[in-house]
Structure 1
Amino acid sequence: MSGAVRVRRLSAAEVEAYVEPLVDILIDCVEGGAAVSFMSPLARHKAIAFWQRAADGVARGERVLLIAEDLDGRVVGTVQLITAFPENQPHRADVSKMLVRRDARRQGVAASLLAAVEDVAREAAKSVLVLDTATGSDAERLYERAGWQRVGEVPDCGYTPDGQLCGTTFFHKRLSSGEVQTEFTQ
């Protein structure tokens, strides 16, 4: 699937229309052990409420939501850019909820989403990005390969979906104001 995904930005109305596939991705990731703020088993109504709040944030201009679709149009991944920060941080954004279906992993989906969200951030004049991930996760290696700098780790910062304490590793990346590097549709 490498290179065989289309990454695009969703409007608030589109997020509402894509709630079901987004819910499926979130539940799949949590069932697979991803420490993304939810415990297992994740009730469908909780996942729906999460995506509805995300749609509200998109509508208010506080976040951007991107999806990755495979050649069949199936949503296989998503990532968000949180842009609502205090007036002394207009240059900053957080990358959040990078989720890729387990059956679509190791095929370049996450790398495509990460490149696209960085481009969205550049277009929004954001020059400092921050994210966190479970310590020891495959995502750590992805971020390092993409030029993100490890800031540090907070031990026992959260729980895995099965109730085990896990550390959280924080990363940042400074973006140049150069040209957009990845094509995606809005």
Structure 2
Amino acid sequence: MTYVPHHITELTAAGMVQHLDDLCRVLIDSVADGAAISFMAPVSTHDAERFWLNDVRTALDDGSRHLFGAFVDTRLVGTVQLVVGMPPNQQHRAEISKMVVHPHGRRRGLGTALMSEALTVAKRAGKTLITLDTRTGDVSEMLYRGLGFEEAGVIPDFAFDPDGKARHATTYMYRYL
């Protein structure tokens, strides 16, 4: 791993819009590179913008989600979301969603930094349990294990790979704070 100087920033809805081009680029390029983050390749700019502006911005506005960006200089190169809006019987937990680092920024400490910030904010919000899912065997699974996440179980044939050619299993993981 080659460390690169960076900073992590929590993005508001307005900040998200300010960095929309970079967010779309990270999403589009990551899916094109094989990232299993609920999108099929190729992702159009229109679909990426719709995801950020409709799905994510709405959740940021209502406070049910936090969005963090990893910046190298002034360029956003990675992102992770912390979902804190849970049902009434699950107020003690949060979920990690859409942990994505641009293919050119991987293996440089950005994913660890993004996750560390999300976990800090979750703890500050009074959350005691964090959950996530990831493609089984993906490099991200090793990242999460390194951050103290434990496997809860594996579901086979959970989703298609972004190229639509094969299905992959997903591993559900958790971590206490």
Query: Structure 1 length normalisation: TM-score?
Result: 0.91
Distance in 1 separating the partners of 2:12 and 2:142: 30
Determine helix, strand or coil for the equivalent of 2:26: helix
Specify the alignment match of 1:152 in structure 2. 153
Distance 1:19 1:129, change over 3 A: same
Q: What percent of counterpart residues are identical?
A: 39
Which residue of the other structure, out of 64, 76, 85, is the alignment partner of 1:62?
A: 64
Deviation, 1:2, is 2.0
Match of 2:173 in 1: 171
1:12-51 equivalences under 5 Å are: 12-51=13-52
Residue 5 of structure 2 corresponds to which residue in structure 1? Answer: 4
**For the residues of structure 2 that align with 1:82 and 1:46, how far apart are their CA atoms?**
21
Report the Cα distance in structure 1 between the residues aligned to 2:95 and 2:16, rounded to whole angstroms: 19
1:75-101 Cα deviation digits (max 9, x unpaired): 110000011111111111100000001
- Residues 97-136 of structure 1 deviation map (CA, whole Å, 9 limit, x = unaligned): 0000111110100011111100010111111000001111
Structure 2's unaligned 5+ residue stretches are none
Which position in structure 2 is the counterpart of 1:79?
Answer: 80
**Which letter maps to 1:152?**
G
Partner of 1:180: none
Q: Which secondary structure state, in structure 1, belongs to the residue aligned with residue 39 of structure 2? A: coil
5+ long unaligned stretches in structure 1: 176-186
Supply the RMSD in Å over aligned alpha carbons: 1.0
Distance 1:32 1:82 in 2: 25
Equivalent residue letter for 2:57: A
* Code of the aligned partner of 2:37: V
Give 1:28 shift.
0.9
Q: Distance in 1 between matches of 2:123 and 2:9?
A: 15
Secondary structure of 1:88's match?
helix
Match of 1:143?
A: 144
